Structure 1
Amino acid sequence: MSLTNKQKQFLKAKAHDLKPVILLGGNGLTEGVVAEIDVALNFHELIKIKVPTEDREEKVLIMDAIVRETKADKVQVIGKTLVLFRQGKDKKIPLPRG
């Protein structure tokens, strides 16, 4: 599912007050971290992930891998923070239409 601009704006506004749920450590992106992100997405649907790396290319690669592995939609990236959305079965966050 890809998000429309209207839906992204809506989710950006909702994510504004959120704190990062996942903080990548020194080991980077491991299977355990991906599993935690999966659990957080199932529970919250909209989450922030902090990727503390100074290397810009590495940060982009890690964020792309997270999006690919979790099958979530990237809402936005602000500095080292990635905002992800994946709608669950319960649809806790109703999205505006197109």
Structure 2
Amino acid sequence: MIKPMITIKDLEKIDIRVGKIIKVLEIAESDKLVRLEVDFGEFQRTILVGMKQERKNPQAEIAGLQALFVVNLAPKTLFGIESQGMFFDIGYANKNHTGFGNT
């Protein structure tokens, strides 16, 4: 299914920022989600990301790295934790893996 086209005005609504992943925390109740604590300089956010099944050790692999995030997405609560944005996957050092758009 082809999704509808968006306009430049639609794109201007999205606030995409670079953030530094300062912590990656386990969510024991979830088979997919981890909790990221992200520093954007002026503020910090908690963002839940479904990457447990994609990475063997998310804490070791992405803590301390920078990535792109949508910071003006409406918050959503999962497993009692409010997720305050959306993560754009940073890819892999191994060229056999790629991935974008994880939430």
TM-score in terms of structure 2 length: 0.28
- Structure (1 or 2) with the greater helix fraction: 1
Which has more strand, going by share of residues? 2
Does 1 or 2 have the higher relative contact order (CA < 8 Å, sep 6+)? 1
TM-score by length of 1: 0.29
